[in-house]
Chain A
Amino acid sequence: EAGVTQFPSHSVIEKGQTVTLRCDPISGHDNLYWYRRVMGKEIKFLLHFVKESKQDESGMPNNRFLAERTGGTYSTLKVQPAELEDSGVYFCASSLQGGYTEAFFGQGTRLTVV
């Protein structure tokens, strides 16, 4: 069974540019989460989808971040325009059930804004 897959694994962009990260969850997992770790900090929650609906987006830092989940399958996280402080590792996770069941993480996308 394929795990959670994230694309790209690395991205280097200039300040002011746009970047789109993609996450393919495990097939059949309705719950999809985005987290990120900025340098020297803990992994922080960004948002949670149940199917195509945003269940909780309280962790999104500002309106430069836009997450979508088309048809309840893969998800994208767009940063526009990117700022230096957006650099970090962005993780996606999925779970079969919501709440506090086991969540499977992808390998992450390392974003560097220069």
Chain B
Amino acid sequence: EDQVTQSPEALRLQEGESSSLNCSYTVSGLRGLFWYRQDPGKGPEFLFTLYSAGEEKEKERLKATLTKKESFLHITAPKPEDSATYLCAVGGSARQLTFGSGTQLTVLP
């Protein structure tokens, strides 16, 4: 059974204080690892897809990396508008997404 574990559950940062979110996974035949952002009362918003170990993708202050066992979402010099829940999901041979429980990020001004 595919599993995704995200840590920490919650993270509070000062504006400009860089940090990383972790996503550990076990999956039968990784087809893709996905990062989503979710704001309160809204659906998940797609950020990145990573397909193979060593792959990296960037978008503004966010950078996602992937190894064979985990993925990191690095946030550089965050701003208050980056506050949200960040979700990690994997797509395996079952051809459906398995989500982690998310990391709730709060960036204080």
Contacts and interface: CB of A to CB of B under 8 A. Distances in A.
Contacts of A4: 43
Interface residues of A, number: 26
Contacts of B45: 105
Nearest to A3: B43
A52 B87 CA distance: 29
Contacts of B41: 107
Contact of A100 (B31, B43, B44, B100): B31
A96 B44 CA distance: 17
Interface of B: 4, 31-32, 34, 36, 41-46, 49, 51, 87, 89, 91, 94-102
17 contacts: A33-B96, A35-B97, A35-B99, A42-B98, A43-B87, A48-B96, A56-B96, A58-B94, A91-B43, A91-B44, A100-B31, A100-B34, A100-B51, A105-B36, A106-B43, A107-B42, A108-B42
